[in-house]
Amino acid sequence: MTQPGVYERFLDHAHRADPYPLFPELHGEPVARQPDGSYVVSSYREIVALLHDPRVSADPRNLPESCIRGLALSEEESGTTPAFIGRDSPDHDRLRRLVMRHFGPPSAAGRIDGMTAWMGEVVAGLIDDFAGRDRIDVVDDFAYPFPVTVICELLGVPREDEPRFHVWSQTLIDSIDPTSGSVAERNQRRRRTTAELREYLNGLVEAHLRKPGDDLLSALAADGEMSREDVLATAALLLVAGHETTVNLIANGVLTLLRHPDVYERLRRDPGLAVGVVEELLRYEPPVQMLGPRRTALSDIEVAGVTIPQGSVITLMLAAGSRDPGRFPDPNHFDPDRHDNQHLGFGGGVHYCFGAPLARQEARIALTEFSRRVVNPRLVTDPPPYRRSATLRGPRHLPVDIDGVIPA
């Protein structure tokens, strides 16, 4: 029997709690052809080059038919228009500019900053609820409800609808995991879920057109320069991606800080350290481990002495790139004082993470307030149980014993 390759072992849930010992083997062959003909790229320099290479397509409609079947892509992805994150330039750039007009600088420079004080109040309230308890689940009680509340406020989605879109979100994420059922089963779940989510969002768009609010969905609906299909695809992307990755970032952050009590104590005493802590978390324990296999070579591409043929599927191992010893000294050491920390936690190139400013702000607020107010937190189990996904990596639960909370 053929032994599984290092990439196959990385995908195996048995390595989810600690995939990092596999990275030196990945670095040993930075551009590796897989048995199915796809290519896995694991070194920092080569990943950055491909992130900026216009010959690498992010559009799932350019994937080979065999890969589309294997990835259980929905009809929306394989046959019609995907969200802007799955589009190539110049179409991607046009749609991203339209969304950024209402999300960030220069047109809406104050949207995120204007939410900062309110986000602090949300976090303070969640920690207040720890009072009188000696054990909390950081995921269920903190890392999940905070970004969900934020994305609902930002988009204009009723917070009480969270149980509905939580199920949709989990189904969509699980549908790209090859271990969660047959391709036919995953296709069926994804098509049904996508249709339900879009129907729900279309109802919200109609409601916001009748009664606009000071939220992103109202702005996108009223703009008039995006088709309804693009508005719905963008809203679905922001709703799902806007909280799933940040949940993992915050949970990974608390776990890492409790494993490094010296850094935890420094952050407790010096909130200004939060900037360095979050940037190092994005390098050291990134919530997004890889991009792919949904990138396609539009022509032959030579990288690191290897020619990736036109039509090949490419997976970019962002987490491995951020621990590349050729780029980062002592890469397996958690160092919030690290200089020149140009990690790959948010990807790069034209598809650099749209929500990076919001995710950074949420993580800084959450980790600072947690370290300042939670008294003597201790991990109950280490490692904790992990979620199924190899792409969006984070604890499923994170039980922590505490001795109380300091009043806000």
* pLDDT tens, position by position, 100-158: 988 876 667 788 889 999 999 999 999 999 999 999 999 999 999 999 999 999 999 99
By residue range, what is the domain housing residue 255? 6-401
User: Could you tell me if residue 96 is inside a domain?
Assistant: yes
Q: Which residue has the tokens 């604890």?
A: 395
User: Could you tell me if residue 1 is inside a domain?
Assistant: no
| Token digits of residue 407 | 């009043």
User: Could you tell me if residue 223 is inside a domain?
Assistant: yes
* Count of structural domains within the chain: 1
pLDDT, one tens digit per residue, over 150-191 is 999 999 999 999 988 888 888 888 776 655 666 677 777 878
Task: Assign residue 338 the CATH number of its domain.
Answer: 1.10.630.10
User: Could you tell me if residue 407 is inside a domain?
Assistant: no
In degrees and rounded to multiples of 5, residue 302 shows phi and psi of -100, 125
| Averaged pLDDT, 17-21 | 98
pLDDT for 189: 81
User: Could you tell me if residue 26 is inside a domain?
Assistant: yes
User: Could you tell me if residue 367 is inside a domain?
Assistant: yes
Between CA 89 and CA 120 the distance in angstroms is 37
User: Could you tell me if residue 364 is inside a domain?
Assistant: yes
Whether 104 contacts 352, CB under 8 Å: no
Between CA 338 and CA 328 the distance in angstroms is 9
Between CA 58 and CA 54 the distance in angstroms is 10
DSSP 352-367: S-TTHHHHHHHHHHHH
| Averaged pLDDT, 193-219 | 93
Task: Give buried/exposed letters for 72-99 (b at 16+ CB in 10 A, else e).
Answer: bbbebbbeebbbbbbbbeeebeebbebb
Which of the 8 DSSP states describes residue 208?
H
User: Could you tell me if residue 408 is inside a domain?
Assistant: no
Between CA 197 and CA 233 the distance in angstroms is 10
pTM to 2 decimals? 0.93
In degrees and rounded to multiples of 5, residue 303 shows phi and psi of -145, 130
